[in-house]
Chain A
């Protein structure tokens, strides 16, 4: 499944709902679905709010690959190079926390098994992988 999306919060949630639907159709647990939805919401809104500055004329892409063993969400955007995986792990500050390495990336780290970043031909490519129990159906 591949979605071309405009850089708006509503489009991020359109992708989240599509992923939830796909994951549900393949019998993934509600806990896994919640984690995937959360990771995509955080990374997608990061692209929209920071990389693409909420410019609705800009586009980004979400692709999903489901094998028997893993659920992979790939996000691609043409914003400035930014590697969210390079944000240091640190405890939450005792204040509102919206910077790099803030709550968003911490939540992504907690809910998927692997986060990989690549910069290729002017694109940010972020791959989120969630390993699945052995008996999940593939597409």
Chain B
């Protein structure tokens, strides 16, 4: 099963500068390198918040977790974090292994994620 990757930059003022990546299909040993390749320019920018929307993700293995973890590390170094939303139950089970790592946040749905990002955005602005 292939992996479709959609990179979406947030247009809403509450979540300015955040990027959402929608994954559809299988994130495995064969497809993880492509996600890694597409993430390089995203992480090369100044973003602090990156969200993965996993509503259409059908399969994930440790190769996929490692790509997520690399993104987590990069963003954490600049005080940011990686969020995950709309995880299906089987994906969630695999994810258990890394969800307690620092710099990882999991949300049930986009509404929950958006209100979180808005709160973070406010605190970034206040700190500047």
Which residues of A does B touch, CB under 8 Å?
Answer: 9-10, 12-13, 16-17, 30-31, 34, 37-38, 41-42, 44-45, 48-49, 92, 94-98, 102-104, 106-107, 110
Contacting pair A38 B101 (CB below 8 A): no
Number of interface residues of B (CB under 8 A): 23
Query: Smallest distance from the beta carbon of B73 to chain A beta carbons, Å?
Result: 7
Residue in B90, B94, B98 whose CB lies within 8 Å of A31: B90
Known contacts A38-B61, A41-B61, A97-B66; 18 further A-B pairs (Cβ under 8 A): A9-B28, A9-B30, A13-B26, A13-B28, A13-B29, A31-B90, A34-B90, A37-B59, A41-B28, A45-B28, A48-B29, A92-B98, A92-B101, A96-B66, A103-B62, A103-B65, A103-B97, A103-B98
For B102, the closest partner residue in chain A by CB is A94
Contacting pair B90 A45 (CB below 8 A): no
Contacting pair A106 B97 (CB below 8 A): yes
Which of A13, A31, A94 gathers most chain B CB within 10 Å? A13
Which of A17, A38, A44 gathers most chain B CB within 10 Å? A38
Contact status of A107 and B61, CB under 8 A, knowing A96-B69, A96-B73: yes
Which residues of B does A touch, CB under 8 Å?
Answer: 1, 26, 28-30, 33, 59, 61-63, 65-66, 69-70, 73, 90, 93-94, 97-98, 100-102
Residue in A10, A17, A92 whose CB lies within 8 Å of B97: A92
Q: Is the interface of A mostly helix, strand, loop or mixed?
A: helix
Find chain A residues with CB under 8 A from B28 CB: 9, 12-13, 16, 41, 45
CA distance A97 to B101 in the complex (A): 11
Query: Smallest distance from the beta carbon of B113 to chain A beta carbons, Å?
Result: 24
Query: Smallest distance from the beta carbon of B93 to chain A beta carbons, Å?
Result: 8
Contacting pair B30 A12 (CB below 8 A): yes
Can you list 29 contacts pairing A with B, beta carbon distance less than 8 Å? A9-B30, A10-B30, A12-B28, A12-B30, A13-B26, A13-B28, A30-B90, A31-B90, A38-B59, A41-B29, A41-B63, A42-B62, A45-B28, A45-B63, A48-B29, A49-B29, A92-B98, A92-B101, A94-B101, A96-B66, A96-B70, A98-B66, A103-B62, A103-B97, A103-B98, A104-B61, A107-B61, A107-B62, A110-B93
